[in-house]
Amino acid sequence: MIDFIWLVLFLAGIVTAMFTGNMSKVADAIIHGSERGVTLSIGLISVIALWLGLMNIAEKAGAIAWLSRLLRPIARRLFPSVPVDHPAMGAILANMSANLLGIGNAATPLGLKAMHELQTLNEDKETASDAMCTLLAINTASITLIPTTVIAIRMQYHSHEPTAVVGTTLLASAIGTAFAIVLDRVFRKLSRRRRAA
C-alpha cells in the first residue's frame, strides 16, 4: 500500500510539473537529490559503523544484560501474562535493552524472536495476544538514549553540536512510549468489552 501512495505522489508531481512548465526543475531536483542521497549515505556509513561498533562492545561487555536486569520489574508489569522464566521474557528484555541503547540492528531480530516466543504462549494462533500487541507498541515507540542515526546525519552536515538532540529525543521517545502503553491498555479494554458483548 505504501508503494502505491509513493507512486501516486511521484506521478502527481510529474504531472503537475508538466502542466506548469517546470519539468526541467523536477529533472534537476531528481538528479541533485540522488547525488545528495548517495553523498549522505556514504558519509553515514563511517559514523554508523563507529556507533554500532561501540554498541557491540557495550553489548559484549554486558550492558544489555545489565539493562535487562534493570528493566525486568517494568517488563513484569507490562507483560503480566508472560512467565518470568519463559524465553519470551528474555527476548523481550533483550529487545527493549537494544532499543534503549539505539542498536536497531540488534533489536529487530530480538523483537522477531520475542514475537515467535510469545506466539508459543498464545492460545489463539490466528489473533495477536495482548503481550504481542504491547511488545509491538513499545517496540514501535521505543525510548532511545542514543539516537545514533540522527547524530550521524547532524555530523554529516557539520553540526556544531551533533549530540544536542539527545535530550529532546529522549523526552520525545519517552512521551511516545508512554502514550503507546496508554493506548495499548485502552484498546485492550475496548477489545475485551467488545468480545464480552
For residues 28-41, average pLDDT? 85
Contact between 80 and 86 under an 8 Å Cβ cutoff? The reply is: no
Section 127-145 average pLDDT: 88
Contacts (Cβ under 8 Å, ≥6 apart) of 14: 23, 26
Q: Which three cell numbers stand for residue 111?
A: 523483537
Q: Which has the minimum average pLDDT: 10-14, 48-52, 166-170? A: 48-52
Q: What pLDDT, in 10s, does the model give residues 101-111? A: 777 667 788 88
The label of the residue with cell 504462549 reads: 121
pLDDT digits (tens, 9 = 90+) for 35-76: 888 887 787 777 667 766 776 787 788 877 787 788 889 999
With cell 530480538, the residue in question is: 110
pLDDT of amino acid 161: 93
Report how far residue 89's alpha carbon sits from residue 72's, in angstroms, rounded to the nearest whole number.
9
Asked if the model's pLDDT at residue 187 lies above 80, the reply is yes
Q: In whole angstroms, what is the distance from residue 90 CA to residue 165 CA? A: 31
Q: How confident is the model over 86-115, as a mean pLDDT?
A: 83
User: For residues 98-135, b (16+ Cβ closer than 10 Å) or e, as one string?
Assistant: bbbbbbbebbeebbebbbebbeebbeeeeeebbbbbbb
Structural domain boundaries in the chain: 1-46, 62-196
Q: Output the pLDDT for position 38.
A: 86
> To the nearest whole number, what is the mean pLDDT of the chain?
86
pLDDT number for residue 73: 92
* pLDDT for 105: 67
Name the nearest CA neighbour of 152 among 57, 41, 56, 54: 41
pLDDT (0 to 100) of residue 168: 92
Q: State the Cα–Cα distance between residues 59 and 85, nearest whole angstrom.
A: 21
At 145, is the pLDDT very low, low, confident or very high (cuts 50, 70, 90)? confident
How far is residue 132's CA from residue 125's CA, in Å, rounded to a whole number?
Answer: 12
- How far is residue 60's CA from residue 57's CA, in Å, rounded to a whole number? 5
Share of the chain above pLDDT 70, in %: 95
CA–CA distance, 68 with 141 (Å, rounded to integer):
18
pLDDT at residue 120 in the model: 92
Residue 51's pLDDT is what?
67
Give me the residue label for grid cell 557495550: 58
